[in-house]
Amino acid sequence: MDAKEIFKEWQNATNLPDYLRDQLDTLGKDEKWVEDAFGQDINFGTAGMRGRLEPGTNRINLFTVGRVTEGLARLIEENGEEAKKRGVAISFDSRYHSREFAEHAARVLGAHGIHVYLFDDLRPTPELSYAVRHLHTFAGINITASHNAKQYNGYKVYGEDGAQMAPEHADRLFSYAQKVTDIFGVKAAPVKELRANGTLQLIGEDVDEDYLNELKQVTVDPEMVKANADKLKIIYTPLHGTGKMLYDRAFRQGGFDNVIPVPSQSIIDPEFPTTIKPNPEYRDVFEPGFKLANKVNANVIIATDPDADRMGAAVRKSDGDFQVLTGNQIATLMAYYLLAHLKENGKLTSDYEIVTSVVSSALPFKIAKDFGIKTKHVLTGFKYIGEEVDRMKKAGDAKFLMGFEESYGYLFKPFARDKDAMQGALMFAEVASYYASRGMTVFDGLQEIWKKYGVAYEITRAIEMPGIGGQKKMAELMSKLRGEHLTEIGGHRVLKIQDFLKKETIENGESTPLEGFPESNVLKYFLDDETWVALRPSGTEPVIKAYVGVNKKDIETAEKSAEDYQKALADLLK
Ligand SMILES: O=P(O)(O)OC[C@H]1O[C@H](O)[C@H](O)[C@@H](O)[C@@H]1O
């Protein structure tokens, strides 16, 4: 069936809620929209499915949520009665329709007799990851579009290890979902019935308690934190989302008594009214925090995104202004602190390991090597970091120190297996406390690291390619570049290319196999001035991501060079 026919089916459906029917009537006047919203099924990417909250098979709505949950139900059924009994934990964030979708997913699973643990209210993503492990469920669902704009929602699926489902399983789930021919006929049992027969169980405070208890392990030097408590004032913002549920207790039990929330951003609100996108990457989300910090004379601002898996921070410089740090810089500070702490306490052993993605900063690895510990690169997607934690546990060949991604994700203690902004916030607060104890700001700390190891500076840019045409364009651009074997970028010689799709490394015109990674549409180039650049279509947004990482003597040269490289990449993508 083509897009127009499917659109007609939706028009004729008898069970569309009014808000979807209204949207269908208005948006449906635009043929291009119809083509985009009905021309394909919404895909499963880096983090499950994500899309605009609109009617359509290529959108997020009650019906696409129902269909994918039906796919999950069939995957669980295939694994037998035990899997059904273990069931699924479900959480949701502060977005429009999140609660409704979570409940709908519970009802669809319930109709298959699959046990469901549904959070009674919004909760952070890492708490769901923790709940899956803690309750030994077979899977987890989280209704969230993370840091995307308010028009979006999404559906993340977790495997029994608490990490986002690995591609093999996710593909299977998706293929089951696609076998659902009548998207309007997916069965959903009534909540009342499921509550009465015990299939649907609400969870909340009980899991909070246990998760908060685990969070206590994150702080590595509680005494130092305690001794410097009065030197540190932290501003915290949950950006209108789930971080609000736990931050207060988490900070307090960690010994951080001086944490002041940003009032306007502590209101749970799907409009995210104080932001354009509730993403701690962007300076604008910190504006209310800056004002408050100036008023109460605080030096550190910590922000978590609406589902509290990403954590960003801004720190005061000596001129009084705030610097918004990148995810890479935050991870660098954390890695240095953790290693220095282990060393000072005579606890540093060479079997510690840091894991990060191939598009994240090289500096934490440089530091790790200097301290003599192991490092491991994985593809983008925190689930791959989760897999490494499992590998270390099973093989017993390494101790997990931390995992991080440039996209503001960090994990220290693997009781959660997704990036955990609560853990990130606690660790960053501890880093701030460490520098305060030395009479320094966090920004001074970063400069100290740069002085020792050189300035690593990274910029990630997203080049938008929306719509169905966009997918095609991204595929064409990537395959064109792949075929070209570039020898020069931005006036610099390419020394080596890593092609993660063809799984080959090209160096001096010779190709050797690139082992140890699943296939992925990523190209990474290493240049003659210690710069690396990478290109990949995002798995969560209709964009190609262009990554640049330079190594220079000072930050000014680094910033300029990184900008120049970004321009060169933008030209390549024209
Ligand atoms: O670069 P993308 O494919 O858009 O993914 C960006 C990020 O999306 C989600 O937040 C995932 O959990 C991360 O692991 C990933 O790094």
pLDDT digits (tens, 9 = 90+) for 374-420: 999 999 999 999 999 999 999 998 999 999 999 999 999 999 999 99
For 52-98, the pLDDT digits (tens) are 999 999 999 999 999 999 999 999 999 999 999 999 999 999 999 99
Active site residues: 146
For 200-220, the pLDDT digits (tens) are 999 999 999 999 999 999 999
Any domain includes 396: yes
Q: pLDDT band for position 14 (50/70/90)?
A: very high
The ligand 1 atom nearest the CA atom of 381:
14
Residues 243 and 334 in one domain: yes
Cα of 11 from ligand 1 centre, angstroms: 34
Residues 430 and 462 in one domain: no
Q: In which element (H, E) is residue 229 found?
A: none
Across the range 17-36, mean pLDDT stands at: 96
Q: Are 146 and 310 in contact (CB under 8 A)?
A: yes
Q: Are 422 and 250 in contact (CB under 8 A)?
A: yes
The ligand 1 atom nearest the CA atom of 147:
10
Residue nearest to atom 1 of ligand 1 (CA): 538
Residues 171 and 272 in one domain: no
Domain boundary among 453, 469, 492: 453
pLDDT of residue 467: 78
Contacts of 372 (CB under 8 A, 6+ apart): 348, 350
Q: What is the mean pLDDT of the chain?
A: 96
Percent of the chain with pLDDT over 90: 95
pLDDT of residue 48: 87
Any domain includes 212: no
Any domain includes 224: no
The ligand 1 atom nearest the CA atom of 46:
3
Q: Are 91 and 129 in contact (CB under 8 A)?
A: no
Residues 495 and 556 in one domain: yes
Residues 149 and 238 in one domain: no
Q: pLDDT band for position 191 (50/70/90)?
A: very high
Q: pLDDT band for position 428 (50/70/90)?
A: very high
**Ligand 1 proximity of 385 Cβ (cutoff 6 Å):** no
Cα of 529 from ligand 1 centre, angstroms: 28
Q: pLDDT band for position 185 (50/70/90)?
A: very high
The ligand 1 atom nearest the CA atom of 405:
16
Residues 119 and 81 in one domain: yes
User: Beta-strand (E) ranges in 100-256?
Assistant: 116-119, 139-143, 152-158, 200-203, 234-237
Q: How many CA atoms lie within 13 A of 134 on its CB side?
A: 21
Contacts of 291 (CB under 8 A, 6+ apart): none
**Ligand 1 proximity of 541 Cβ (cutoff 6 Å):** yes
Angle between helical axes of 363-370 and 327-344 (0-180°, round to 10): 10
3-class SS at 115? coil
**Ligand 1 proximity of 463 Cβ (cutoff 6 Å):** no
Percent of the chain with pLDDT over 70: 100
Residues 406 and 337 in one domain: yes
Residue nearest to atom 16 of ligand 1 (CA): 381
Domain that holds residue 527: 455-573
Contacts of 97 (CB under 8 A, 6+ apart): 53, 61, 62, 153
Q: Are 157 and 139 in contact (CB under 8 A)?
A: yes
Number of folded domains in the chain? 3
**Ligand 1 proximity of 124 Cβ (cutoff 6 Å):** no
Neighbours of 67 (CB within 10 A): 24
Alpha-carbon distances, residue 347 vs 210, 286, 375, 404, 547 (angstroms): 28, 37, 18, 22, 35
**Ligand 1 proximity of 382 Cβ (cutoff 6 Å):** yes
Q: Are 544 and 477 in contact (CB under 8 A)?
A: yes
pLDDT of residue 443: 97
End-to-end CA distance of the chain: 33
Contacts of 319 (CB under 8 A, 6+ apart): none
> What is the C-alpha separation between 364 and 362, in angstroms, rounded?
6
Domain boundary among 207, 239, 254: 207
Across the range 429-452, mean pLDDT stands at: 97
Q: Which of 43, 44, 46, 148 to mutate to test the pocket of ligand 1 (most atoms within 8 A of CB)?
A: 46
Residues 12 and 160 in one domain: yes
| Long-range contacts of 36-42, Cβ-Cβ distance < 8 Å, separation of 24 or more | 36/467, 36/468, 37/3, 37/7, 38/3, 38/4, 38/6, 38/7, 38/10, 39/2, 39/3, 39/468, 40/468, 41/177, 41/178
For 474-489, the pLDDT digits (tens) are 999 999 999 999 999 9
Report residue 91 as tokens. Answer: 């959480």
For 261-306, the pLDDT digits (tens) are 999 999 999 999 999 999 999 999 999 999 999 999 999 999 999 9
Cα of 381 from ligand 1 centre, angstroms: 5
Q: pLDDT band for position 167 (50/70/90)?
A: confident
Any domain includes 67: yes
The model carries a pTM of 0.97
Any domain includes 497: yes
Q: Which of 309, 355, 358, 407 to mutate to test the pocket of ligand 1 (most atoms within 8 A of CB)?
A: 407
Domain boundary among 453, 470, 486: 453
Q: Are 533 and 546 in contact (CB under 8 A)?
A: yes
Q: pLDDT band for position 47 (50/70/90)?
A: confident
pLDDT of residue 380: 95
Q: What is the 8-class DSSP label of residue 392?
A: H
> What is the C-alpha separation between 406 and 365, in angstroms, rounded?
13
**String of DSSP letters for 410-447:** EESSTTS-S--HHHHHHHHHHHHHHHHHTT--HHHHHH
Across the range 105-114, mean pLDDT stands at: 98
Cα of 540 from ligand 1 centre, angstroms: 6
For 308-322, the pLDDT digits (tens) are 999 999 999 989 999
Residues 157 and 251 in one domain: no
Residue nearest to atom 9 of ligand 1 (CA): 47
Any domain includes 220: no
Cα of 406 from ligand 1 centre, angstroms: 9
Across the range 507-514, mean pLDDT stands at: 95
**Ligand 1 proximity of 499 Cβ (cutoff 6 Å):** no
pLDDT of residue 433: 98
Report residue 554 as tokens. Answer: 């000072």
238: left (phi over 0), alpha (psi -120 to 50) or beta: alpha
- Write the single-letter amino acid at 147: H
Q: pLDDT band for position 505 (50/70/90)?
A: very high
Across the range 230-243, mean pLDDT stands at: 97
- Write the single-letter amino acid at 476: E
Any domain includes 219: no
Contacts of 452 (CB under 8 A, 6+ apart): none
**String of DSSP letters for 452-485:** HH-EEEEEEEEEE--HHHHHHHHHHHHHHHHHH-
Cα of 345 from ligand 1 centre, angstroms: 35
Residues 243 and 148 in one domain: no
Note the residue count of the chain.
Answer: 574
pLDDT of residue 27: 98
Evaluate if residue 45 carries a pLDDT over 80.
no
Residues 166 and 280 in one domain: no
pLDDT of residue 63: 98
pLDDT of residue 1: 86
**Ligand 1 proximity of 539 Cβ (cutoff 6 Å):** yes
**String of DSSP letters for 366-383:** HHHHHTT-EEEEE-SSHH
The ligand 1 atom nearest the CA atom of 406:
16
**Ligand 1 proximity of 540 Cβ (cutoff 6 Å):** yes
Cα of 46 from ligand 1 centre, angstroms: 6
> What is the C-alpha separation between 326 and 428, in angstroms, rounded?
13
Q: Which CATH number covers residue 388?
A: 3.40.120.10
Q: Which CATH number covers residue 487?
A: 3.30.310.50
Q: Are 49 and 68 in contact (CB under 8 A)?
A: yes
For 237-270, the pLDDT digits (tens) are 999 999 999 999 999 999 999 999 999 999 999 9
Backbone phi, psi, residue 498, to 5°: -110, 120
> What is the C-alpha separation between 176 and 481, in angstroms, rounded?
34
Evaluate if residue 506 carries a pLDDT over 90.
yes
Q: Which of 307, 361, 379, 540 to mutate to test the pocket of ligand 1 (most atoms within 8 A of CB)?
A: 540
Q: Are 107 and 188 in contact (CB under 8 A)?
A: yes
Report residue 265 as tokens. Answer: 């951003």
Cα of 510 from ligand 1 centre, angstroms: 32
Report residue 221 as tokens. Answer: 């030097």
The ligand 1 atom nearest the CA atom of 539:
3
> What is the C-alpha separation between 167 and 40, in angstroms, rounded?
20
Across the range 161-174, mean pLDDT stands at: 91
